[in-house]
Structure 1
Amino acid sequence: MTEISPSETDVPGDNGIGPAREVMAVVDEKHFGESATATASTITNSVGDAGCDAVIEYPDGGLRAWGVVFGAALTQFCGYGYLSAFGVYQDYYTRIYMAEHSASAISWIGGIESLLMIAGGLVCGRLYDRGYCMFLLYGGTFVTSLSLFMLAFVKPNQYFGALLCQGLGVGLGGGMAYVPSLAIVSQYFEKRRAMAMSIVTAGVSLGATVNPILVNNLFARTNLGFTSVVLINAAFMTSVLLIACFLIKPRLPPPKKHAKLVNCLKKFSKDWAYIAMTTGFTLFALGFFFPVFYLQLAAITHGLDKTLAFYSLVILNGCSFLGRISCGFIARVVNVNHLGIISALISGCITFAFIAVESTTAVVFIGVLYGFFTGMYTAVMAPITNLLTDDVAELGMRLGISFACSGLGELIGPPIAGALLTGEYHWWRPAVFFGIVELAAAISFGWVELVVRHRRQVKQVREDTGCTGA
């Protein structure tokens, strides 16, 4: 049994992209073939200015190492965890604060925020590899905090103010801090890296659970307006980020060698299995945020209990955490690509259920199942990429490129949902569209499975032929 997490290839110098998001998986070697065994018990790398090969020793524990893990989890709490709670703002903006603007226009705020957090790795990952870890962390904290405090003073129906502060500002700040918060773990852990990464990624689910509770309850107070609510939330987020800055410290100097993005793009463009996988990632990302951004709004517009509506995102994100954690155990007996197909297939079917979201049971059903299976899907993204990677040094680059493409899907998906929904709330339109899109993603992963099987058969034939010839 080999434990694999994306951070295992994110030792500084392995790539120029930086780590993937929210990934933890325990993978059986029989599901990966030879690529799973590429992670050795020690890693040889060029360290700092020494200019020679040195064996990197990992603490794999201790107060400082676990403090870094906790700090990284707090950064994830304020980054993708905050983004995953955008459904609260989608509901509040659409019904109350920016009622003059369509749901589609409002969704661009969350879509841009998501794109910058994910695709920012293309730039920030390269800066991280060049030793700018703390610059990215401090800069991301400053930009995020400033943007949140500025958001508090956006007036009703000032759409572009919210777009600049919450979409561009928070997205840029979150993207800057996102890379070091994941990559830094690889400097402290090797044997226990999967455990450390699971704690870090748990920060996303925790943030996606706590933020909706906090913001919804503050909005529910009649004596607090939008400015007061956002100021309180901004102060809370800033405090958490400052603690993270205090805890996160780099341990290793930056490397000298870096992979070239252009060369990798040329190589990957000829790998049809990788293209199919990236297509699947992008299609799934296109529909991913529809339930996340719109479940609370759907519950309220159907006249359901407001308490249930407010906690619908808590249910969804809490079950997403369970899906991520359980995937590590399920992957011991089930092929990870099969898990990708299953999770995309079931998520698509659940998206169709939005047509009937007219009862408490329907809201809970969607929240529990969609949260669980999208959490599982998130956990297997890196292992599926590893399945197609012959050279483990390319894994980080492959992850960065494919996730940047999926970021484009997350950018345009929510606005498309709002445009299909219209001001008359035709829920069946986005439900059918995104259900079909996620089923198409499952088909793309099915194609990946066929290619992988073919490659194994060809390899086996070559090995048998070689033995016969001997």
Structure 2
Amino acid sequence: MSMTQSKISNALASHDKLNELEELGHRHSPDSSALCSESDLPDGGFWAWATAFGCFLIQFCGFGYVSSFGVYQDFYTRIYLADLPPSAISWIGALTSFLADNVTLISGPLYDRGWFYQLMIVGSLLQALSLFALSFAKPGQFYLIFMVQGVLSGIGMGLTYGPCMAVISQHFSKRRTLVMSFVASGSPLGAVIHPIMLNYLLNGSVGFARGVRASAGFVSALLLISCLSMRTRALSTSKPTASYSAAARKCSRDVFFILITAGSTLFQIGYYFPIFYMQLDSIKHGINVQFSFYSLVIMNGACVIGRCTAGIIAAYTGTLNFTIASTVACSALIISMIALRDVASVVVLGLAYGYFSGVYIALMVPLVTAFTPDLSELGARFGICFAFTGVYYPALFRNF
């Protein structure tokens, strides 16, 4: 009897020891380490804020520079590519924007597999190289301009755009929406500074070649600073076990992700209407031409404020609620463009639409992040979402 009790007690002890070993192994498994790091994010610190600043510069030099294509469009139409119709020239800017969004289908999964630094370096080099190569283009060389400014620059921006937004999730948790909205403000700030600088360079005494080289040097310096500033966290970049196809299948069954993607695609189609037609409408209503040019500057300035404050307000209202409110406000303001008559109406509509559209764009990425159950799939989800929202770019710029 005592021997039986001894065997039972030994078996129980062995079972308890096995449970302890399994628990210890679970603690040190790759998946659980990623979860631990996710629940124990620093939410600040030098490298976290340095990474946010570097991502801000990526946005400033990425879509912030794409927004200055109107200056190139005007210069090409009047001087460099005068033999071509404006609709053909607009394909350069259309392709840049299209690739910047759709290359995220590639860069997103690569980011999930820990290729962040390679994507930033290669993407930045392609952007810098495309601008320096553009400065050697001669009048009438449409295909060279199309390849270096449309294709090469678009691929470079696509390699950096999605990953630079996703890496914020490795450093911030409670402040994630706030920091992502700060990073997103780099794009409209670039849309204010780059066009003004390019207008003075290309249309002044500097000329096209030296003007584009000066712009390329400025962008290259900022991209270098951004690459030196950004860091990843080791525990959060372990290779995911799920493949890209598995992540795509999971997205196809996620109803909320499907609704976010469909809603953002529909919103983006209407989003560009005031940006394309505010200046034209104000001129047709007899408003001063110089002031009409600055209507877009007013709109982009308000957009910067909207993107910077979106994260602060969303902390109290909720990201989803504030996103819905901003889309409703933008819809009402687009309809209100019917009442555009004088300087006051241009200022009010420009400020209001710039602010609420900035809020929406700033909250779109945090919204996708907030409803991503596994952050190891975040890059893949960004790629899928951005690919759909970027499909319409060629049609928009073609009609522009």
**TM band (smaller chain):** 0.7 to 0.9
**Tell me, what secondary structure is at the counterpart of 2:152?**
helix
Compared with structure 1, are the counterparts of its residues 296 and 346 closer, same or farther at alpha carbon in structure 2 (3 Å cutoff)? same
What is aligned with 2:36?
55
Distance between the aligned counterparts of 2:82 and 2:342, measured in 1? 25
What is aligned with 1:152?
135
2:61 to 36, 57, 78: 78
What is aligned with 1:259?
242
Distance between the aligned counterparts of 2:321 and 2:35, measured in 1? 39
**Tell me, what secondary structure is at the counterpart of 2:363?**
helix
Instruction: Calculate the TM-score normalised by the size of structure 2.
Output: 0.78
What is aligned with 1:190?
173
Q: What do residues 248-291 of structure 1 show as CA deviations (whole Å, max 9, x unaligned)?
A: 23331641324333334344445555444422221222233344
What is aligned with 1:130?
113
C-alpha contact (below 8 Å) 1:119/1:404 kept by paired residues = yes
Q: Which residues in structure 2 correspond to 1:236-247 (within 5 Å)?
A: 236-247=218-229
Question: Is 1:118 equivalent to 2:101 in the alignment?
Answer: yes
Compute the displacement of 1:406 (Å).
Answer: 0.4
2:207 partner amino acid: G
Compared with structure 1, are the counterparts of its residues 294 and 212 closer, same or farther at alpha carbon in structure 2 (3 Å cutoff)? farther
Instruction: Give 1 or 2 for the bigger CA radius of gyration.
Output: 2
C-alpha contact (below 8 Å) 2:112/2:378 kept by paired residues = no
1:146 partner amino acid: L
What is aligned with 1:229?
211
**Tell me, what secondary structure is at the counterpart of 2:36?**
strand
Distance between the aligned counterparts of 1:99 and 1:265, measured in 2? 45
Q: What do residues 22-50 of structure 1 show as CA deviations (whole Å, max 9, x unaligned)?
A: xxxxxxxxxxxxxxxxxxxxxx99659xx
Compute the displacement of 1:79 (Å).
Answer: 0.9
2:107 partner amino acid: C
2:71 partner amino acid: V
What is aligned with 2:199?
216
What is aligned with 2:232?
250
2:47 to 64, 89, 96: 64
**Tell me, what secondary structure is at the counterpart of 1:101?**
coil
Q: What do residues 347-404 of structure 1 show as CA deviations (whole Å, max 9, x unaligned)?
A: 3444456667675445434432221121122133246547876777766644432222
Gaps of 5+ in 1: 1-43, 419-470
1:88 to 71, 74, 99: 71
Question: Is 1:278 equivalent to 2:264 in the alignment?
Answer: no
2:36 partner amino acid: V
**Tell me, what secondary structure is at the counterpart of 1:55?**
helix
Compared with structure 1, are the counterparts of its residues 274 and 193 closer, same or farther at alpha carbon in structure 2 (3 Å cutoff)? closer
Compute the displacement of 1:164 (Å).
Answer: 1.6
Q: What do residues 106-165 of structure 1 show as CA deviations (whole Å, max 9, x unaligned)?
A: 332222212222222221122222222221111111110110112223333433333222
1:247 partner amino acid: S
Compared with structure 1, are the counterparts of its residues 318 and 104 closer, same or farther at alpha carbon in structure 2 (3 Å cutoff)? same
Distance between the aligned counterparts of 1:181 and 1:391, measured in 2? 18
Compared with structure 1, are the counterparts of its residues 132 and 398 closer, same or farther at alpha carbon in structure 2 (3 Å cutoff)? closer
Q: Larger helix proportion, structure 1 or 2?
A: 2
C-alpha contact (below 8 Å) 2:166/2:379 kept by paired residues = no
Gaps of 5+ in 2: 1-26
Compared with structure 1, are the counterparts of its residues 150 and 136 closer, same or farther at alpha carbon in structure 2 (3 Å cutoff)? same
Distance between the aligned counterparts of 1:347 and 1:337, measured in 2? 16
Distance between the aligned counterparts of 1:89 and 1:356, measured in 2? 31
Instruction: Calculate the TM-score normalised by the size of structure 1.
Output: 0.68
1:93 partner amino acid: Y
2:310 to 327, 332, 335: 327
C-alpha contact (below 8 Å) 1:285/1:413 kept by paired residues = no
Distance between the aligned counterparts of 1:135 and 1:71, measured in 2? 15
Compute the displacement of 1:167 (Å).
Answer: 1.7
